Amino acid sequence: MITVRGVDIRVGARLLLSDVSFHIAPGDRIGLVGRNGAGKTTLMKALAGEERPAAGAITATGSLGYLRRRTRERANAERKAAALRTQADKMRSHVSTAVAAKNMARRADRMLADLEPVRRLEKVARIRLPEPAPCGRTPLGAISLAKAYGDHRVLSGVDLAVDRGSRLVVLGLNGAGKTTLLRLLAGRESPDTGRVVHGHGLRLGYFAQEHDTLDPARTVRQNLVSAAPHLTDGEARNVLGSFLFSGDDADKPARVLSGGEKTRLALAGLVHSGANVLLLDEPTNNLDPASRGEVLAAVGSYPGAIVMVTHDEGAIEALRPDRVLMLPDGIEDLWSPDYLDLVSLA
Ligand SMILES: Nc1ncnc2c1ncn2[C@@H]1O[C@H](COP(=O)(O)OP(=O)(O)OP(=O)(O)O)[C@@H](O)[C@H]1O
């Protein structure tokens, strides 16, 4: 699975590709068409990890991600080894530098010998996500939201615009109103003043910390199919497998699931529901490392918009937020890694 988001590629000073976004799922067949010099080969190199984009991001999950990392490491090592060899060639002819030249050439050889051979893909990425339903440019917004419980004012004057495919992380100390904001956006509660604005084509998916989106009496499979009714039996089985539910697990009632299993099931339903905006409240709570990895891969490659509350730095890395909203003040800013220090406090 590869997700390309807002990628710019420069060749020297020239901007060869600008704002390229698309998504490749396992089994997809894509033809790249363009005139000579349009950037087809450069884009292929970028997908393989040999070219770095000047802006935007290319992310790959599963064995594709592994392959891209190996390819990048190999390209770096080959560049360094070539530079060492060039330098060694220049120094070889002088008696005073001949020994150093020989050492440099040896170092270059060692650098290449240490590289793991680039392996062919052995299996495809496990999670295959459908495209979210089409929607307008800003599927979800909020205008001047305020909420109090009794005398306790939690939120006041919070404005928000969630653009298609955008990534927003909500940060704030305990009790700052993060869950309250997500509940207001999800329509689970009403604001005292202000309003939530639904844009054209909005399909909202809400992941609540308490898993109240699951029906405890229904089985794992039934819960998935009620969240994502378009799935065939075979697809539902594959989805459950990719979210680590195998064999008999599918027939268990949701009420017997552990906290981590409920999290996985709720997220499997959401990412396959056709939702184009996901509201995720602490989606990695209670997860063992394998489940957390699957969930983060799903979050990282989901092409719709996400509004996430989390105190998990790994979840932020997978999300790659564009913007941050700080509560209770409702201050919005472009995301910067400087905000990571605040994540564990949130
Ligand atoms: N139904 C309710 N009735 C009364 N007070 C509530 C209710 N829901 C939330 N609160 C209060 O509103 C404040 C904000 O709660 P909220 O759960 O939104 O905070 P949070 O930022 O998500 O906190 P945390 O990081 O601890 O999850 C808290 O003081 C909480 O006790």
What are the pLDDT tens digits along the chain (346 aa)? 788 888 888 877 778 888 888 878 777 777 777 766 778 778 887 887 777 788 888 877 665 666 666 677 777 777 777 778 878 887 777 777 778 888 888 887 777 776 655 443 333 334 445 678 888 899 999 999 999 999 999 999 999 999 999 999 999 988 999 999 999 999 999 999 999 999 999 999 999 877 777 899 999 999 999 999 988 988 899 889 888 888 889 999 999 988 888 888 998 888 888 899 999 999 888 788 877 887 888 888 888 999 999 989 999 999 999 999 999 989 999 999 888 888 876 5
Q: State in Å: Cα 335 to ligand 1 middle.
A: 25
d(CA 324, CA 196): 18
The pLDDT value recorded for residue 157 is 92
For ligand 1, mutation pick of 179, 184, 212, 279 (most atoms within 8 Å of CB)? 179
- Give the residue, by CA position, lying nearest to ligand 1 atom 3: 149
d(CA 16, CA 36): 12
User: What is the bridge-based pairing of β-strands 193-198 and 55-60?
Assistant: unpaired
Instruction: Please work out whether the CB of residue 205 comes within 6 Å of at least one atom of ligand 1.
Output: no
The pLDDT value recorded for residue 152 is 94
Ligand 1 atom with minimal separation from the 346 CA: 25
The pLDDT value recorded for residue 209 is 78
Q: What is the b/e burial string over 241-255, where b = at least 16 CB atoms within 10 angstroms of the residue's CB?
A: ebbbbeeebbeeebe
Q: State in Å: Cα 287 to ligand 1 middle.
A: 23
Instruction: Please work out whether the CB of residue 37 comes within 6 Å of at least one atom of ligand 1.
Output: no
Contact 159, 105 (CB under 8 A): no
The pLDDT value recorded for residue 346 is 57
Ligand 1 atom with minimal separation from the 172 CA: 21
Superfamily, domain 140-344:
P-loop containing nucleotide triphosphate hydrolases (3.40.50.300)
Q: State in Å: Cα 321 to ligand 1 middle.
A: 24
Residue 198's contacts (CB-CB under 8 Å, 6 or more residues apart) are 139, 140
The pLDDT value recorded for residue 70 is 67
Q: Which two tokens stand for residue 195?
A: 């309003």
Q: Which two tokens stand for residue 70?
A: 């190996």
The pLDDT value recorded for residue 121 is 34
Instruction: Please state, in angstroms and as integers, the Cα–Cα distance from residue 333 to each residue in 160, 170, 308, 326, 338, following that order.
Output: 11, 11, 15, 8, 12
